[in-house]
Structure 1
Amino acid sequence: MLYKAYEIQRSLMNASSAWASMMVDILNDPQMPFAAFGPMQTMASALNVFAHATAPRGKPAFAIRTVHVDGHTHAVHETTVVHRPFGDLKLFTHDGLPADAPRLMIVAPMSGHFATLLRGTVERMLERAHVYITDWADAKYVPLAEGHFDLDDYIDYLIGFLEHIGPGAHVMAVCQPSVPAFAATAVMGAKKHPCRPLTLTMMGGPIDTRESPTEVNDHAIAKPFVWFKHNMITTVPENYPGAGRQVYPGFVQLTSFMSMNLGSHMMSHYKLFQHMVQGDGENADSTKKFYDEYRSVCDLPAEFYLQTVDVVFQQHALPQGEFVHRGQAVDLGEITDTAILCIEGEKDDISGIGQTRAALKVTPGVPDEMKQYYLAAEVGHYGIFNGSRWRGRIAPVVEAWMARFNTRDDAAQGSGSSGQGKPRGGGKLSAVN
């Protein structure tokens, strides 16, 4: 019933958005009498904000056309190199990259938003690396015949993607996938898999949510597991290819995130209205662009969502050494020659300070000189991987880390030719004591 009720509401809102957009066009038509009159423009701006807020949204495109490197502009090539039912592997590259440029796989979250939320992450790292990214599918479009998808499958997908890329790749996990990426690295390390990553960078990830718990963490443990199963899971309706599949709907996730900072979102839309009234198109477009991405949501397979709530947020299985993959215990001690960089934001309200850094405490097989921690000053969760602070302060730290361990020989020696790298602007970069 939840999904059907949402579909009815969505249809009504889509119609309202279309009506509002039509009225905006009429009120802004220069041939209309009083079109330039103040109250008409105020009304048009208000309707424009409403139309944008209620407009239907699908999966956004990455649309990275060019990249600027050292004063030169290069055309970007985007290809899908692996296609699987629950997620593809995309590759971004450009002709200005040298033959020996590092290969980086960015693991995007499967948490209700599309991988395009990391567009800025891809764009910045693409300057000096071949960038792969996991492009997870919207579960409501995956037919039931394709089977289920849980945390075990997620880890298998990551291993398969790394096998496609080949030996010598780097991995960056943004937020939620830090846990499966960490586990996949351990599974591959135990087998001395030739495609195990050279470096693993985890950014704002919930490795141990007992550290500095946030409102998100509190919500995950405030109710028993069965509550999530009965209240957060619904069935995809008949009008989608994935009809009958059990999912955690993206619109529920979006509602939760919006309600966490409702005042901020309301103020953002009020400022959007003001920008439109004042004719400030640049700031208005910037706000619209953000919400176009933020409101584009997808459904998660129920198995993956429930297992993540249970294993990651309620049991804390990974940091306690109790995480299991395909019936086998995952031993983080098997990670011995993958260099680990943990990045956190000082003002992160999703993953608190210390939750990602916990990864450095539970990897006894990794030498201290192959571990690094960076705390980004004045940075919230979104700012860890997008925006000016990401581009100017955080990305250079990641690039320096990758350059330091760009071969397996560098990892074995625990050092490289490029040094440790220094944060620019603000932030704290430290080794593990």
Structure 2
Amino acid sequence: MKYMATYDLMETIRNTNEWMGASARAIASYPAVAMWPGPGMEMLRAWGEVTERSFARMVTKPDWGIDSVPAEDGKDHVIMVRKVVEKPFGDLVHFCAVGRAERKRKVLLVAPMSGHYATLLRKTVMSLLPDCEVYTTDWHNARDIPVSEGKFDVEDYTLYLSEFMKEMGPDTHVIAVCQPVPLTLAATAYLAEQDPDAQPRSLTLIGGPVDPEANHTEVTDFGRSVTMGQLEETMIQQVGFKYPGVGRMVYPGLLQLASFISMNSEMHSNAFQKQIMAVTKGEASEHDKHNVFYDEYLAVMDMTAEFYLSTVDRIFKKREIATNSFTVEGHPVDFGKITTVAVKIVEGENDDISAPGQCLAALPLLTGLPESKKASHLEPGAGHYGIFAGKSWRNNIRPLVIDFIDANSEPVKPAAKRTKKIAAVK
């Protein structure tokens, strides 16, 4: 599998399906077709429209699409996405509300690098913007990164997070979602020893695999059932000539997407059949529920081979985080060194990706942290997506996270009284 031809074959199949959809839509839209009315051509046009859109989204990075945020002054303030730190494999970006008073809560939202872009957290960002200064990690698609930029594995990821935390300063509150949870914990422990003053004030860890063996899921079962050699031979491919990262070894986003869909193939099949019928009847729209969801879900990115393989090997198989044996550049990372950073765990009762218990396993590792700085929440009935972007997040979890941030923020000092009179303006 580790060949350019395999990667290019997948891209060729995707491109062909996009072309077939576009062709079907165009053919069924000719005015002459209307001379022989019938449902067949309308269904062909609808199939073509849905197919073309779906396969085109697979290689398109979504926009953040956050135009403005309301404020207490009654105005909507324009949002500008500004790069604070630019690095080859990912940037630290800030969602600036132009003209709005700066919020005292400064939040770093750590996005997953698990096949989707950081825009998967769009709704999470939108929900935090009214009350916080929101920063997030914006990971790059590995296919677009030249081989000359070198490797990127779990240790490099950890060092990136450490650098981002240093840049933002000690008044930061970090929220990590899913895949980056164990590495965010490792980055904090690394700072606790290397640069204690750069540690954030709090960590909120949402649905991540700190200890995959704490509660098995299909994901953990897969990780245990295959060898690293099998993974490398079957999952790793070489970026083809179409992209700047030509020659880089990656775990392709299209392969990851196929895995996602296969886990709930019947649900996805029914969703697309319903959408084709909706388009046929003229009941679909550009921003209907189906398109909003699948425009994001189908947009996938490649991961570097070394990041994917080291994640499976060191996080899932060897359980280096769970056993407190993780190292960064040869330096042991000791979670017991975290003594001042408040940590809150959030899990979903029905999470089938990181099941309850996997994330909670972080708290026993924090042997140097007082119990008063540890907290946890299990959201009843919530699945994986719901604990960071769904109704459970909006109605229940987000208020708890905001309260946790406030409880672990530095009290605002009263302004010092002025001792000098200000001269009147003539």
- Give the structure-2-normalised TM-score: 0.90
Which of the residues 14, 20, 24 maps onto 1:20? 24
Q: Name 2:354's counterpart in structure 1.
A: 351
Which of the residues 251, 264, 268 maps onto 2:254? 251
Gaps of 5+ in 1: 411-433
The Cα shift of 1:100 comes to: 4.7
The Cα shift of 1:296 comes to: 0.7
Higher normalized contact order (CA 8 Å, seq sep 6+, divided by chain length): 2
User: In the TM superposition, what are the counterparts of 1:30-49 in structure 2 within 5 Å?
Assistant: 32-33=34-35, 40-49=41-50
The Cα shift of 1:270 comes to: 2.2
Seen in structure 2, the aligned counterparts of structure 1 residues 145 and 317 have a Cα distance that, compared at 3 Å, is: same
Please say which of residues 274-283 and 200-209 is displaced more in the overlay. Answer: 274-283
1:85 has 2:85 as partner? no
Distance in 1 between the 2:157 and 2:303 partners? 12
Q: Name 1:114's counterpart in structure 2.
A: 117
Contact 1:20/1:50, CA 8 A, preserved across alignment: no
Seen in structure 2, the aligned counterparts of structure 1 residues 403 and 84 have a Cα distance that, compared at 3 Å, is: same
Gaps of 5+ in 2: 414-426
User: What code does the residue aligned with 1:128 have?
Assistant: D
SS in 1 for 2:122: helix
Query: Runs of 4 or more off by more than 6 Å in structure 1?
Result: none
Identity value in percent: 38
Distance in 2 between the 1:209 and 1:327 partners? 24
Seen in structure 2, the aligned counterparts of structure 1 residues 22 and 319 have a Cα distance that, compared at 3 Å, is: same
Deviation per residue, 1:179-211 (Å, 9 max, x gap): 110000111112352221111111110000111
Please say which of residues 2-11 and 200-209 is displaced more in the overlay. Answer: 2-11
Which of the residues 57, 60, 64 maps onto 1:58? 60
Contact 2:143/2:246, CA 8 A, preserved across alignment: yes
Which of the residues 381, 384, 389 maps onto 1:386? 389
The Cα shift of 1:333 comes to: 0.5
Distance in 2 between the 1:298 and 1:139 partners? 7
CA RMSD after TM alignment: 2.3
Contact 2:347/2:377, CA 8 A, preserved across alignment: yes
The Cα shift of 1:30 comes to: 11
Contact 1:105/1:131, CA 8 A, preserved across alignment: yes
Contact 1:64/1:123, CA 8 A, preserved across alignment: yes
Seen in structure 2, the aligned counterparts of structure 1 residues 216 and 199 have a Cα distance that, compared at 3 Å, is: same
Distance in 1 between the 2:168 and 2:219 partners? 34
The Cα shift of 1:329 comes to: 1.3
- Give the structure-1-normalised TM-score: 0.88
The Cα shift of 1:15 comes to: 1.3
Distance in 2 between the 1:38 and 1:327 partners? 66
Please say which of residues 217-226 and 43-52 is displaced more in the overlay. Answer: 43-52
Which of the residues 266, 270, 274 maps onto 1:271? 274
Q: Name 2:322's counterpart in structure 1.
A: 319
The Cα shift of 1:99 comes to: 3.4
1:6 has 2:2 as partner? no
Seen in structure 2, the aligned counterparts of structure 1 residues 14 and 283 have a Cα distance that, compared at 3 Å, is: closer
1:294 has 2:316 as partner? no
SS in 2 for 1:319: coil
Contact 2:15/2:55, CA 8 A, preserved across alignment: no
Which of the residues 173, 180, 184 maps onto 1:181? 184
